[in-house]
Amino acid sequence: MELSYVEETYLKGLHHLSTQTNKQVTTNDLAATLSNSAASVTDMLKKLSRKSLINYEPYQGARLTEQGNKLATRLLRKNRLWKVFLYQSLNIRWEDVQEIAEELEHIKSDLLIDHLDAFLGYPKFDPFGEPIPNAQGKYTLRVQSPLSDLLPGKQGLIIGVKDQHVSFLKYLDEKGIGIGKIVTSIKHDAYDQSMIITLGQKEINLSGKAASLIFIKPL
């Protein structure tokens, strides 16, 4: 099925919200996510429902159908493969990757995406640690724990970040924290949950919140 740019955006928003909460997606939540008015969202929900991409009952919110989910997953595949390309091949900084990938994910060609996948060596995760669905839509979640759980003295490999806001990514970039870096936990502060880690020679102080948004593989 051929979808418009906007329809795809809504589908992705629906997928995002429904995997987060596993409940019906409400009109207002979707409106907030997409920065649109609730009225616009209602219109689009009716349209997507007519196309059988969502189940929608007035006043009851919406949920992706199997077909809608399949299309949303395809968008995630495209988005994340492009992110790998931008980050790894083009050396574009973390905080700039998201915005560009959001445009690239709407490029239609399946041929393109499969060739891109091959070019990148069939990566399983994007630069933020999110799993990349394969051509059949299958993907595996990774065992990952927040940096905040790393016990003092232990080492971890950074494999992802939860928050993808530009300001947070810049904050990490400035501290030298990125995918593939190895860090050692030095000390937790019992009072404010902040922690001290080392990255190479450098000692870094992280807020408890920041540490909980960074994912590692314990070494």
| 42 interacts with, out of a second copy, DNA, none, CB within 5 to 8 A per kind | DNA
Burial class of 141 by CB neighbour count within 10 A (0 to 12, 13 to 18, 19+): exposed
CA atoms of 157 and 87, how far apart (whole Å): 18
Cα four-point dihedral sign 161, 167, 169, 174: negative
Residue range at the interface with DNA (CB under 7 A); choices 20-28, 82-90, 164-172, 174-182:
20-28
Closest of 5, 134, 25 to residue 74, by C-alpha:
134
- Decide if residue 47 touches DNA (CB under 7 A): yes
Residue range at the interface with a second copy (CB under 8 A); choices 7-15, 22-30, 110-118, 166-174:
110-118
- Decide if residue 191 touches DNA (CB under 7 A): no
SS3 of 214, please?
strand
- Decide if residue 98 touches DNA (CB under 7 A): no
Residue of 39, 112, 135, 166 interacting with a second copy (CB under 8 A): 112
CB of 117 to a second copy, least distance (A): 10
Nearest residue (CB) to DNA, 27 versus 148:
27
**How many residues of this chain interact with DNA, rule: CB under 7 A?**
27
- Which tokens is 135 given? 């051509």
- Which tokens is 39 given? 């009225």
- Decide if residue 26 touches DNA (CB under 7 A): yes
- Decide if residue 86 touches a second copy (CB under 8 A): yes
Whether 65 contacts 87, CB under 8 Å: no
CA atoms of 219 and 217, how far apart (whole Å): 6
- Decide if residue 110 touches a second copy (CB under 8 A): no
- Decide if residue 39 touches DNA (CB under 7 A): yes
| CB proximity list for 164: less than 8 A, separation 6 or greater | 98, 128
Nearest residue (CB) to DNA, 61 versus 156:
61
SS3 of 25, please?
strand
CB of 111 to DNA, least distance (A): 24
Whether 16 contacts 33, CB under 8 Å: yes
Residues in the site for DNA, rule: CB under 7 A? 4-7, 9, 26-29, 35-47, 56, 58-61
Residues in the site for a second copy, rule: CB under 8 A? 86, 89-92, 96, 99-100, 103-104, 107-109, 111-112, 115-116, 118-119
